[in-house]
Structures are given as C-alpha cells and as structure tokens.
C-alpha cells in the first residue's frame, strides 16, 4: 500500500485554506445557533415579564379610574348644589318671623282647626340658617286635623314636622300637639326677638292671653 501518498493527500487537505474556511464556518455556525437559542430564551423570558408588568399596570390604572370616578365633575356638581340651595332659600325660607306666624294663622282658618297654643323659639345659627322651633297645640275634628297636617307638609314655606302626638279627644274633637321646625336667615332670626330654644326641647313658658299663643 502506498501510505506515503495517503499521508501526503491528508496533509495537503489539512493545509488547504478551503478546509480551514469550512472548519471556521462550521464553528461560527454552531456559535450562531447557540447564540440564537440563548437569545430566543432570553426574549421569551423578557416578553413574559413585560406582559406581566403591563397587566399589573393596567390593573392599577383601572383601580385608580374607579377610585377617582366619583370626583369627576365635582366642581360642576358643587356649583349646581349651590345654585339649587340658593333657589330653595329664595322660594321656601321665609323672610321674617311674622311671615311664619301669619302663614300658620292662615292654615288654621283654611283647615278649620283651632290653635290653642303656639310657641316660637330660635336655635343657634348653623350653616347660614337659624332653626325656628314651633310648638303647637290644636283641636278639631279628624278631617280638619288631617287638612292642617297635609297643608303644613305641602306649604311653600318649608316646615318640617319633628313630632306629632294625640293628647286627647272629647265630643268628636281631637287634641293634637305638633312640634315643627322652619328656618330663618340669622339676621332675620336675630331681629325677631324670639327666645332661645331650651336645651333638650323643654317648653318655654309665657302665654299671650289675648291671642292664646306663646312666644309672640
């Protein structure tokens, strides 16, 4: 066998630039494949983390939107509330104490009841208004009593019925005690000269014999 010829051919091939180029290309190809696999794995991990972060931020944003939803347009709602309050005061808050007394007298006549006692007192100013307490004893038949109560509730002057209790009945007439509240502006209440409302809702003595009303 010609071993020398075979060795010479092998050495020639090993020393050939083409052989080294092929070997270098193979090494580079392997390195490129390894790097591509590593990059793919890293990209997948980064993409998964980014998706998780994005989802978390979206949840936080939605939570903030829900928390701040009641505050949207609050300036407009405050202004609307002020306008409504101003209209309410103009239409339903009486200008003077005497207008309250006159209106109750009118309701007495219109309903057919008889007022045996009316007492007015005033509380302390709160939020730009002063509460006027009205303690009334009245008598009449049941339909007249109900007319008086219904007209009080629907009257243009704002009356709030605090308490209402029957105090007796005789000869077809019902006796009723009502405690009402309405409001005046502080300056109007101060000008009325009404006594202060006692602590605990106690009665303020003092009756005007000529009219049968208290606190006038």
- Residue range 182-202, pLDDT digits in tens: 999 999 999 999 999 987 654
Q: 101 with 159, same domain?
A: yes
Same domain, yes or no: 141 and 186: yes
Reading the block at residue 141, the tokens are 């038949």
Q: CA torsion 128→130→131→135, rounded to 10°? A: -160
Range of the domain at 195: 92-214
User: How many domains is the chain partitioned into structurally?
Assistant: 2
Output the domain CATH number for residue 205.
Answer: 3.30.70.60
Q: Are residues 56 and 104 in the same domain?
A: no
If asked whether residues 209 and 103 sit together in one domain, one would say yes
pLDDT-flagged residues of the chain (< 70): 1-25, 27, 31, 40-55, 69-75, 77-86, 88, 200-216
What distances in angstroms separate CA 48 from CA 42, 43, 60, 159, one per listed residue? 10, 8, 19, 67
CB 176 within 8 A of CB 167: yes
Residue 11 lies in a domain: yes
Q: Does residue 73 lie in a domain region?
A: no
Assigned domain for 27 exists: yes
Q: Is 17 exposed, middle or buried (0-12, 13-18, 19+ CB in 10 A)?
A: exposed
The 10s digit of each residue's pLDDT in 88-126 is 677 889 989 999 999 999 999 999 999 999 999 999 998
């Amino acid at each position: 066998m010609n071993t020398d010829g075979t060795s010479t051919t092998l050495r020639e091939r090993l020393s050939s630039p083409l052989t080294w180029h092929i070997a270098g290309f193979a090494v580079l190809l392997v390195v490129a494949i390894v790097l591509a696999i590593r990059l793919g794995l890293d990209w997948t991990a980064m993409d998964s983390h980014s998706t998780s972060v994005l989802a978390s931020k979206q949840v936080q944003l939605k939570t903030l939107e829900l928390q701040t939803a009641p505050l949207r347009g609050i300036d407009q709602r405050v202004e609307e509330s002020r306008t409504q309050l101003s209209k309410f005061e103009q239409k339903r808050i009486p200008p003077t104490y005497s207008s309250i007394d006159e209106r109750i007298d009118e309701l007495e006549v219109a309903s057919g009841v008889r007022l045996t006692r009316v007492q007015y007192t005033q509380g302390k100013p709160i939020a730009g208004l002063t509460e006027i307490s009205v303690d009334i004893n009245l008598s009449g038949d049941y339909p007249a009593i109900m007319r008086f109560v219904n007209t009080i509730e629907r009257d243009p002057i704002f009356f709030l019925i605090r308490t209402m209790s029957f105090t007796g009945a005789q000869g077809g007439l019902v006796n009723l005690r009502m405690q009402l509240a309405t409001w005046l502006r502080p300056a109007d209440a101060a000008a009325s000269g009404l006594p202060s409302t006692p602590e605990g809702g106690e009665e303020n003595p003092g009756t005007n014999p000529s009219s049968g009303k208290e606190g006038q």
